[in-house]
Structure 1
Amino acid sequence: MTNHYVSSSSTHALAQGLGWFSIGLGLAQLLAPRRLATSLGMDEHSGLIQAYGAREIATGIGILTQSDPTPWIWGRVGGDVLDLATLAAAVPNNPRKGNALMAMMAVAGVAALDVICAQELAAHRQDQQRRRTYRDYSNRSGMPRPIAEMRGAARDFEVPKDMRIPELLRPWTSGNPVPNDNRAASSSETTTSTGVTVGQPSPSGLKPQLSSAQTVKTAHQTVT
């Protein structure tokens, strides 16, 4: 998850503030372009300042009216770059050079706020998209009913015999499996000198098969 320097509510509040600031600055540029141009030593650029004012008003309205103001904040960043370029071009041979430099510093400070706000808005939007992509199952227990109702539900459960000892794994006598209750009786089976257990036919009911070594040993004992 992206690390945020500003909370989501603070970011949107900052965006709203920038929107109102943009409208206020745009009105000043639109209604008094000559006065602003004179104070900045840019008398011949009053029409350009008025056009920038219309741009600021449009951007501010977009920020305040749209549910996602991120594109409009980035639009403010682009406008800030354009304002800085215009002021920088007017600094040389400017009789009011100090005012122009102060205006550049003010625009640079607002531009920094615009960049921070745009980045935070984009980061919060990415987090919201991730939350929509991955479902949240943290409130699920995996039980069909609440835990209080599940407690003691298996108290009367009886374990089947074949779950204690599977039928195919029980001792075999006379081709049939010995019941669980008779396991102790089947433990008395004897083993011959050849190592073959008597009374344990295979599960198919056939007699136990001897290996080749056991067959030779048994034959040798019979001859001797």
Structure 2
Amino acid sequence: RERYGDTFTKRTSGSRIFELVELHQMIIEVQSIDEVENVSKGVEAMLARFHKKKDYRISVPLALLRQAEATKRTFNIVLGSIAAISLLVGGIGIMNIMLASVTERTREIGIRRAIGARKRQIVSQFLIETVVLSTIGGFIGIAIGLAIPWSITFFAGMPTVVTPFSLVLSLGISMGVGMLFGIYPAMRAAALDPIVALRHE
């Protein structure tokens, strides 16, 4: 990374000698766009105090920064919408799979109810199965989510950042969606009449 205007220091016989290089450009990075104007004013005040000659120009592309911030917000909204739709479709898919499982295992449910299993036990069984299914899907999604940024960094040379919190959050959301969409199939399984379920072929 190229740097401008470094000041090198060296010691000679216990004293410091400063070797100054000509400063052509200085780039200041701030943490938030809200700090740009305050930092700009602070830099200008500091230069006016220590560098009396007005032979510099402070450039603040605030309009471009705000446009970039607006583009980033729009991009995040679009990605959030896509993620919400994906979660909804995935949840409906899990619910359909579990409903098909209830239909296929009607006789098994009837036998369990006949030998004394309670409704809450049936509900717990199907909810656990749903959460396990959604957790597996969550781990697959995390693997894909890690592979894509790694590929971008490896092939395009663009730095990407994946935080541990985002991985934990995505897994938690996946499990939550699975549990939410698994309630109806679990309740339907628990509501089956044992006698009717035992007659099911």
Task: Report the TM-score when normalising by structure 1.
Answer: 0.25
Bigger helix share: 2
- Name the structure, 1 or 2, with higher relative contact order (CA <8 Å, separation 6+): 2
